[in-house]
Amino acid sequence: MSVTAAMQAGAANPILWILAIPLGAAGFLAVLPGWRLATWLNVAVSGATFLSSLVLFQHRPEPTRLLFIDDFNVYLVALTAFVGFTTSIFSAAYISRESRAKHLSDMHLRFYHAMYQAFLFTMLLALVANNIGVMWVAIEAATLTTVLMVSLYRTREAIEAAWKYFILCSVGIGLALFGTTLVYLAAQPVMGDGADAMAWTLLITKAAGFHPDLLNLAFVFLLVGYGTKVGLAPLHAWLPDAHAEGPTPISAVLSGLLLNVALYALLRFKMLISTNPETLAPGPLMIMMGLSSLFLSGFMLYRRGDIKRLFAYSSIEHMGVITFAFGLGGAVANFAGLMHMTMHSLTKSAIFFAVGIITQNAGTKRIADIRGLTASHPVLGWGFVIAVLAIAGLPPMGVFMSEFLVVTSAFSKQPLLALPLVVGLLLAFGALVSRLQGMAFGPPPPPNRRAHGGGNWLGTMMATVPLWLHMSLVVIAGLWLPAPLVAWFEAVAKLLG
């Protein structure tokens, strides 16, 4: 192939654009003078990445040994790019106010925006990687970029949270590397040496002939390793601290995106294990970890006094529900798991949009000091109420529909598992609703207790626009799903087995 032909092939491959835009922007933003320009360039670049992701619905390039797109990852790529774009809009308002309140330097702010684009690049690379080694490297790089952003404020608590995140997730990702190596060793006698024994599109076609004992051992390490990144109990200890001490936009993308990416990696390996008839069923292990996450977070929600930690534990709860659904398996449960991944991403990121402005206005993260939001900030307050009710599972929101499908599937396949699932969901629902009442409907604090005097209208509007956009999509999904989206979820559910 000539150089010209190679360049034309690269230009015609939308995957390369999806990766090149955030990667190039990360380097440019790191050296761009003036953090205000970097703020708006971050929004523009994130929007360009989202538009590039939409091209994949019209043109799906042929897989290579390194990159590929199929029914499973195409919707996650679009979801990741969309939430990354809306979060960048919220971030533009949030970080501007933080720069004044926390006295952040120009260098810190430029570094934040550069790392934001690097983070998007690593997640997108993990999703489109057709190589189990490249995917592992991308998820490890995502860990490193978020560690740097969690420690942005340079306080003792932020440094401690970043260090805990780095240590625990590095241990987890190290175990995932060992599991990845075992998968390669299991595939090597059938696939031969080299890249072919690491390519998803080739592995899935011949996984039935792989050594079953190596695959069983590999999945244990992969479940513990990537389960740490997902935040499944008892491997969750990093998640509440990282959410509480880092900038709120990072909490939004951590909960809404990174947890999905880690679970995606685990599900890819589950697909390999499931195609081999001599391996042990991976479902029971996933069900066990899903239920343990649901119950731990359900009880911990009642004891949280920090609003960001409260919704961090809510993320653990919902990742437990999703893991339970995929562990249960079958067309309905897998459909519900996919839908719940989407609804949780949209809803939880919207909650953190609201929480970011709420904590800035109140000057505190203490739930006891946040009162009367619907009276003091009606647009923001009611958006927050709807988002919390949605994540709690109240109808007719999309989260309710996906949870309803998980419960009905559990009753039809494993009735004894449905009871603890319902109890765990009700436990979390009660905690969230009880905490919401005071924050939303109590008497608002006097003006002299508001840190920024309620904030400027432009910043609040920039936070509430993506908040209401996300919640509009969640409400619509609870009432009606377009036929192409239903067919898409059904196709992916069949792939997952």
On whether residue 244 sits in a domain, the answer given is: no
User: pLDDT (tens digit, 9 = 90+) per residue, 130-155?
Assistant: 999 999 999 999 999 999 888 888 88
Q: Is 235 a domain residue? A: no
Whether residue 435 is contained in a domain is answered as: yes
Helix 307-328 vs helix 331-362: crossing angle, to nearest 10: 170
Helix, strand, coil percentages for the chain (3-state, nearest 5): 80, 0, 15
Say if 15 falls within a structural domain. Answer: no
3 state DSSP class of 366 = strand
The tokens for 464 are: 């509430």
163-211 tens-digit pLDDT: 999 999 999 999 999 999 999 999 999 988 888 889 999 999 998 889 9
Q: What is the pLDDT of residue 181?
A: 95
The residues, any chain, with a CB within 8 Å of residue 120's CB and separated by 6 or more, are 22, 46, 49, 80, 81, 84
Residue 131 lies in a domain: no
Q: Is the pLDDT of residue 428 over 90?
A: yes
* Secondary structure of residue 67 in the 3-state scheme: strand
The angle formed by the CA atoms of residues 131, 133 and 137, to the nearest 5 degrees, is: 115
Give the alpha-carbon dihedral of 94, 99, 104, 108, to 10 degrees: 50
Query: Strand, coil or helix: what is 296?
Result: helix
Asked if 201 and 69 touch (Cβ cutoff 8 Å), the reply is no
pLDDT 10s digits, 281-302: 899 999 999 999 999 999 999 9
Q: Choose among 12, 15, 134: nearest CA to 70.
A: 15
Q: What global pTM score does this model have?
A: 0.93
| Cβ-Cβ contacts under 8 Å for 195 (sequence gap 6 or more) | 65, 131
pLDDT in tens, 469-481: 999 999 999 999 8
Q: Which DSSP state fits 306? A: B
pLDDT of residue 463: 75
Task: List pLDDT tens digits, range 433-487.
Answer: 999 988 988 787 776 544 444 455 666 677 789 999 999 999 999 999 888 889 9
Dist. CA 360–CA 91, nearest whole Å: 13
- Residue 491 placed within a domain: yes
- Asked whether residue 270 carries a pLDDT value surpassing 50, the answer given is yes
Task: Provide the residue range defining the domain that includes 440.
Answer: 294-497
Model pLDDT, residue 7: 39
Region 90-94: what's the mean pLDDT? Answer: 89
How far apart are alpha carbons 76 and 120 in whole angstroms? 12
- Number of independent structural domains in the chain: 1
Contact 495, 271 (CB under 8 A): yes
Q: Could you give the CA distance from residue 350 to residue 356 in angstroms, rounded to a whole number? A: 10
User: Which pLDDT belongs to residue 362?
Assistant: 85
- Angle among Cα 272, 275, 276 to the nearest 5 degrees reads 95
426 by DSSP, 3-state: which? helix
Q: Answer whether the bond into residue 234 is a cis peptide, omega within 30°.
A: yes
Phi and psi at residue 291, in whole multiples of 5°?
A: -70, -40
Six token digits for residue 133: 């080694």
Take residue 403 and report the two structure tokens written for it.
Answer: 């949870």
Q: Name the amino acid, one letter, at 216.
A: N
Section 236-249 average pLDDT: 89
Residue 5: pLDDT over 90: no
Angstrom distances, CA of residue 250 to CA of 20, 255, 276, 334, 434: 22, 8, 39, 28, 26
For 265-269, 369-373, 398-402, which range has the lowest pLDDT when averaged over its residues? 369-373
CA–CA dist 479, 473 (Å, integer): 10
pLDDT at 386 over 50: yes
| Joined tokens for residue 266 | 């685990």
Instruction: Give the mean pLDDT of 3-12.
Output: 46
State whether residue 129 is helix, strand or coil: strand
Q: Is the pLDDT of residue 2 over 50?
A: no
**What token pair was written down for 17?**
């654009």
The answer to the question of residue 319 being in a domain is yes
Q: Compute CA 370 distance to the chain's CA centroid, rounded to the nearest angstrom.
A: 27
Residue 450 within a domain: yes
Measured from the Cβ of residue 340, the count of other Cβ atoms closer than 10 Å reads 24
